[in-house]
Amino acid sequence: MEEKILQSYRVKEHLLDEVFDHNGTIKKPYKKLYSHFNKYNSEDFRKVNDATKLSFLMQGITFATYAENPKGTERIFPFDLMPRIITSTEWAELEKGLIQRNLAINLFLKDIYNDKKILKDKVVPSELIFSSVNYNKYMVDFEPPGGIYNHISGTDLIKHSDGKFYVLEDNVRCPSGVSYVLSNRDALKKALSLLFKELRVGTVFDYAEALSTCLHSVAPEGVDSATCAVLTPGMYNAAYFEHSFLAQSMGLQLVEGRDLFVDHGFLYMKTIYGKKKLDVLYRRVDDEFLDPLVYRADSMLGVPGLMDVYRQGNVSIINAPGTGASDDKAVYSFIPQIIKYYLDEDPILNNVHTYQCEIPAEMDHVLNNMENLVIKPVDQSGGYGIFIGSGASKAEIEEMKQKIKSDPREYVAQPIMNLSTHSTFIEESNCFEPRHVDLRAFTLLGHDYQYILKGGLTRVALKKDSLIVNSSQGGGSKDTWVADVE
């Protein structure tokens, strides 16, 4: 008898598998999905998988991985056909936690650039903030239109073997990935249309409208009908697909720095009909390249004079420059105190215990327990620079120790968390195998406006036993279903 595609699947001991329990029994939320997938044998499933990949190629759903190719050649964004299911009950708790966390981060950003009460009260060390490379002195004594800094946040969460979600990182500079959520959903809607209805899966297709509402809500004072645009570094950027996708989805112009100019205190876009005033700029360009008159003089990506227009209140920048001061990984460990300080509430979402290497006692602990820790640079994103002690050689450990000793402020350490695993189709073996996953959840904050994308991006570590799920490090993705199944 021919073996079905999930028949040989084996759960890893000591790890939480999202689909099966440790006896190999399918979990209740996945029963209908299991029945559907297990109709296939490996040969038939591969055909379905190949057809989906071809669909992604035809749509140009790509990503560039600089880690593997210095020239950033684009490749198809890896996508797994089996979705991840999060129950509505679980999701409701996550939503409350995400709103709470990002509201507190916004208040924190407003405070550290203005009154600095939390620093004066010594809840967060002043030196930690002022030594951050992402603390932006051009934001001091300034409040953006609408009072919002982190309009768009991408919060990275994992489910640990204890069954609880933990926040790994807060990304509030230019979080990427939402275009793949929508593309993944579009692909699965075609392949699994009946299951969406049976499991009452929440939609993600309202994101573009929500983002547009968010942008318009923080337009400069006195602007009734704002003109918005998406600023991209250009087609050679790793996330260019996403930039163009979002602009098109919202019906906005996708612009580069050379398309914009400043005149008499306002920002304008060049068009074939002449100049057009811009009121809201959703920038996907890093702070240091935004304005060559203020930041890097050699930047060809930004607009000379943009920060002056911004500080005059004549344009809104999404996200505000300087937000990176709060997603510094050393600041992450203070988020529970930050939530308590501004909201007088206990944190809903869990933090992972974090060691600050610049504190001597904590650095000693890190240096003596390297094999059990993950070491992270505080100002990097995309999985770059992460060191996992359990898989490192003695030479690599010694090299990392020297880096920490020479620049303790640059590094934090966390215990190695047991990220949950999920059944994932592996082309090399032509069968489903467990792979570690995390979840990037997207939150929008506008003026009197809050929104959470129902589902987010489940990222998959495609290499066996790897804990690195980042797309820029070769990771893949899954559609994430918030389903009404308990």
Q: Which of 312, 134, 119 is nearest to 222 (CA)?
A: 312
**Proportion of the chain above pLDDT 90, given as a percent:** 72
Q: How confident is the model at residue 382 (pLDDT cuts 50, 70, 90)?
A: low
Per-residue confidence (pLDDT) for residue 307, from 0 to 100: 97
Q: How confident is the model at residue 383 (pLDDT cuts 50, 70, 90)?
A: low
191-196 long-range CB contacts below 8 Å, 24 or more apart? 191/48, 191/52, 191/81, 192/36, 192/83, 195/32, 195/33, 195/36, 196/481
The Cα–Cα gap between 386 and 463 comes to 16
Per-residue confidence (pLDDT) for residue 127, from 0 to 100: 93
- Is the pLDDT at 418 greater than 90, yes or no? no
Per-residue confidence (pLDDT) for residue 55, from 0 to 100: 78
The answer to whether 144 and 316 are in contact (CB under 8 A) is yes
The Cα–Cα gap between 6 and 8 comes to 6
380 vs 362 pLDDT, higher one:
362
Q: Which residues, 6+ apart, have CB-to-CB distance to 194 below 8 Å?
A: none
Q: How far apart are the first and last CA of the chain?
A: 34
**Rounded mean pLDDT, 265-276:** 96
The Cα–Cα gap between 215 and 204 comes to 18
The Cα–Cα gap between 152 and 161 comes to 29
**Rounded mean pLDDT, 388-403:** 91
The Cα–Cα gap between 169 and 153 comes to 11
Q: How confident is the model at residue 68 (pLDDT cuts 50, 70, 90)?
A: low
Per-residue confidence (pLDDT) for residue 472, from 0 to 100: 66
Reduced to 3 states (helix: H, G, I; strand: E, B; else coil), residue 332 is: helix
The Cα–Cα gap between 363 and 407 comes to 11
Q: Which residues, 6+ apart, have CB-to-CB distance to 414 below 8 Å?
A: 352, 353, 354, 355, 373, 374, 376
Reduced to 3 states (helix: H, G, I; strand: E, B; else coil), residue 372 is: helix
Residue 236 burial (10 A CB sphere; 0-12, 13-18, 19+): exposed
Q: How confident is the model at residue 193 (pLDDT cuts 50, 70, 90)?
A: confident
Least confident of 195-199, 258-262, 275-279: 195-199
Per-residue confidence (pLDDT) for residue 59, from 0 to 100: 74
Per-residue confidence (pLDDT) for residue 381, from 0 to 100: 67
Joined tokens for residue 382 = 């995309």
| 406 backbone φψ class: left, alpha, beta (φ>0; ψ -120 to 50) | alpha
**Rounded mean pLDDT, 51-66:** 72
